[in-house]
């Protein structure tokens, strides 16, 4: 009877698996702060993507870790950059798998910020328009390498419109944009920076990520990104922002994604390791709550396990 009247049901199709691919390794490397999450080599990531598809997942979100970083983030938009190489290989082996790519500069910048910076004594500024230009180049190069959808995670102003225009002008009308529309400056991103090797070398990201206290601002950011052509809008992190997720889904009625981030993942893993929580039950409850709050798409490091649990 409970099943008959259940309002929210999870399926493997709700989840997107983040994949970290590194040019610097030959064999997968585990990430200490995120048990069960790995960086994969270019050779391994192809099999990993296919495995995800075999488990019933239909989309992956690819993050790259380049061999070298510089002040222009050249690895982000290089034809033979790590994401570009990984994409071509993944799409050749698994053409049906939806390949979404992270579009940002922080993994490729020597200073680890998401944009081009200018120092002003001890202060630094992020140069918005210069950054957008590089993000556009990155997005187009991902599309050229086979990305089905690009996901700009930087939070610069005007980047969705600029990317849409450039994709169209380059013939990639069908390449979608999933916008990190409401991305809050959050303590829960800590472990990700180990995974993506992208901690800022100075300062923090509060000048371009949102204050956790602001909901109306989040709605304005989402409205802007939709106006500029975002196909899917994302709220990030997840559990501390369920109200934002709900309001975004209710107000705009657009496909809405939520990113259950590294710190949220690490927190549950730590609870499980201490014997305080049962992992499967905890994860299913959390994922159900995200979907109930309006998420059409949930990006989670548990995507593989979820696909297995939901099949059983
Ligand atoms: Zn970034």
The predicted pLDDT at position 191 comes to 87
27 is catalytic: no
Q: Report the separation in Å between the CA atom of 229 and the middle of ligand 1, taken as the mean of its atom positions.
A: 20
Q: How far apart are CA 214 and CA 139, in angstroms?
A: 29
pLDDT of res. 125: 87
Q: How many CB atoms lie within 10 A of CB 88?
A: 16
- Predicted confidence at residue 193, as pLDDT, reads 85
Angstrom distance (rounded) from CA 13 to CA 10: 8
For residues 296-302, average pLDDT = 98
Specify the long-range contacts of residues 199-204, CB closer than 8 Å, at least 24 apart. Answer: 199/112, 200/106, 200/111, 200/112, 200/113, 201/110, 201/111, 201/112, 202/111, 202/124, 203/113, 203/124
Q: Among residues 236, 254, 269, 291, which one is catalytic?
A: 236
Q: How confident is the model at residue 292 (pLDDT cuts 50, 70, 90)?
A: very high
Give residue 275 CA to ligand 1 midpoint distance, Å.
Answer: 34
For residue 124, the model assigns a pLDDT of 84
Q: At 79, is the pLDDT very low, low, confident or very high (cuts 50, 70, 90)?
A: very high
Average pLDDT over residues 287-297: 98
pLDDT tens digits, 203-220: 888 777 899 999 999 999
Q: How far apart are CA 40 and CA 129, in angstroms?
A: 33
Rounded distance, CA 13 to CA 276, Å?
A: 29
Tens of pLDDT along 107-138? 999 999 999 998 888 888 899 999 999 999 99
Tens-digit pLDDT profile for residues 241-290: 999 999 999 999 999 999 999 999 999 999 999 999 999 999 999 999 99
Catalytic-role residue among 69, 85, 183, 269: 183
Interval between CA 106 and ligand 1 midpoint (Å): 4
Q: Is 274 a catalytic residue?
A: no
Tokens of 226: 């939709």
Q: Ligand 1 centre from 289 Cα, in Å?
A: 27
Ion ligand 1: residues, CB within 5 A, are: 104, 106, 114
pLDDT at res. 246? 98
For residue 180, pLDDT over 80 is answered with: yes
312 has pLDDT over 80: no
Write down the pTM of the prediction.
0.95
∠ at Cα 235 (181, 23), nearest 5°? 80
Distance 199 CA to ligand 1 centre (A): 9
């Amino acid at each position: 009877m409970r099943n008959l009247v259940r309002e929210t049901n999870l399926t493997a199709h709700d989840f997107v698996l983040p994949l970290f691919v590194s040019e610097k390794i030959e064999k997968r490397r585990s990430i200490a702060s995120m048990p069960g999450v790995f960086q994969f080599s270019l050779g391994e990531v192809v099999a990993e993507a296919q495995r995800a598809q075999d488990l019933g997942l239909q989309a992956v979100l690819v993050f790259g870790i380049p061999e070298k970083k510089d002040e222009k983030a050249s690895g982000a938009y290089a034809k033979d950059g790590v994401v570009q190489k990984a994409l071509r290989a993944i799409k050749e082996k698994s053409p049906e798998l939806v390949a979404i790519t992270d579009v940002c500069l922080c993994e490729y910048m020597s200073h680890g910020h998401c944009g081009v910076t200018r120092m002003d004594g001890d202060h630094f500024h992020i140069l918005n328009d210069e950054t957008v230009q590089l993000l556009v180049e990155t997005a187009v190069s991902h599309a050229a390498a086979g990305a089905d959808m690009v996901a700009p995670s930087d939070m610069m102003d005007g980047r969705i419109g600029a990317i849409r225009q450039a994709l169209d002008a380059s013939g990639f009308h069908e390449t979608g944009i999933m916008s990190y529309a409401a991305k809050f400056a959050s303590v829960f991103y800590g472990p990700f920076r180990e995974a993506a090797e992208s901690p800022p070398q100075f300062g923090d990201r509060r000048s371009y990520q949102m204050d956790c206290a602001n909901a109306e601002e989040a709605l304005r950011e989402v409205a802007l990104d939709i106006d500029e052509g975002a196909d899917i809008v994302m709220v990030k992190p997840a559990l501390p922002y369920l109200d934002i997720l709900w309001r975004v889904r209710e107000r705009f009625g657009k496909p809405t994604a939520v990113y259950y981030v590294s710190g949220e993942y690490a927190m549950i893993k730590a609870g499980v390791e201490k014997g305080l929580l049962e992992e499967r039950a905890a994860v299913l409850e959390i994922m159900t709550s995200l979907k109930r709050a309006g998420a059409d798409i949930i990006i989670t490091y548990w995507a593989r396990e979820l696909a297995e649990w939901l099949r059983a």
